[in-house]
Structure 1
């Protein structure tokens, strides 16, 4: 697996897609573990349109061993760097009839263990006893996200749409996208494939129209130390 092309694509365009990272069998095992979880936990969000588990790797101890196969380890080391660790993980399930539509946005917050008054950190939000904050730009610019696809995903079941290269423009408001010069790319990913993206890449997704579900595991990685008053709320090396 030669990753130079993918490394360049992430730096230049803000994203890349690599298929065939997980075998059919590996995806099956991950799916089985998810089906058997205790759905009464606080970190879960369940509605007709979306089923989500925050702190996914922490909540389900069997999952990390299934996810960090040789392919993923190689990708983290070669594309991100030796010192990168997991700092956030979420599982999303958009069911077959989901009308869940996500407008263009950037991922601007990190999850931390407490609230602290620090220069450059803010605004703050709290969801289900979890603290999220917008950190200084250099922390955001250093994060990489891996999205593992447990189903085939295309424009008919809510594949991500992105604005290539938008990750290199700092924090930008989606309503200021100039469509006369920007383009939109739909990120089709096969079951068992992954998408790597930078959080500042403008991205969104449309409603599902083909009656096929879309399950995605979203994992963020950083190599940065936070100020000593704060810790990442979910850190796995």
Structure 2
């Protein structure tokens, strides 16, 4: 698998889609783990429209070896770099009847272990005992996100829509998007494929219209060290 094309695509456009990263059997094994988990924990969010697990790799550690197969390890090493590690993981399940809509936005926060005063870190939020903060721009620019698709996803069941190259424009407020110069791209991803994205890429998703579910594992990676008073809440060195 030659990854240089995808690496350049991400650098230029802020995203890329790579097919066949997981086999049918691997997806089935991940799905089996998900089907047998205890869904009552406080980091789990469950509604008619969405089921989500924050700190996914911490909460479901038995899935880790299934996710970090040789293809994913190769992507981390050759596209991101040897020094990258996991800093955030979330599992999303949009059920078949979900009408969940996500407006265009950038991912501007990181997950950390506690709330504390630190220069250039602000806009603190807390969700389900998870602290999030907006870091300096250079930290956001260095993050990569891998979105692993457990189902076929297209424009009819909430595939991400993105604005190519928007990641290179710093903090880009959605209300200032100039559609005379920007274009929208729908990221169709087949089951077992991945979408890689820079968090500053403007992205959103439409409601599901075809009655098909969309399950996605979202994992963020960084190579940045935080100020000594802060720690990444999910820092894990992936064995490559």
CA distance in 1 between counterparts of 2:14 and 2:64 reads: 25
Q: How far does the alpha carbon of each residue in 1:121-144 deviate from its partner, in whole angstroms, 9 at most, with x for none?
A: 011001111100000000000000
Gaps in structure 1 of 5+ consecutive residues:
none
Q: TM-score, normalised by structure 2?
A: 0.98
Q: How far does the alpha carbon of each residue in 1:114-167 deviate from its partner, in whole angstroms, 9 at most, with x for none?
A: 011111101100111110000000000000000000000000000000000000
Q: Which residue of 1 aligns with 2:194?
A: 194
Q: What is the RMSD computed on CA atoms of the aligned residues? A: 0.4
DSSP 3-state at the match of 1:93: strand
CA distance in 2 between counterparts of 1:63 and 1:12 reads: 32
Q: Which residue of 1 aligns with 2:9?
A: 9
Q: Please list every run of at least 4 consecutive aligned residues from structure 1 whose deviation after the TM superposition is greater than 2 angstroms.
A: none
Deviation at 1:61, TM superposition (A): 1.1
Q: Which residue of 2 aligns with 1:144?
A: 144
DSSP 3-state at the match of 2:188: coil
Structure 2 residue 28 is the aligned partner of structure 1 residue 25 = no
CA distance in 1 between counterparts of 2:167 and 2:215 reads: 25
Q: Which aligned pairs between 1:68-217 and structure 2 lie closer than 5 A?
A: 68-217=68-217
DSSP 3-state at the match of 1:140: helix
DSSP 3-state at the match of 1:92: strand
CA distance in 2 between counterparts of 1:120 and 1:6 reads: 32
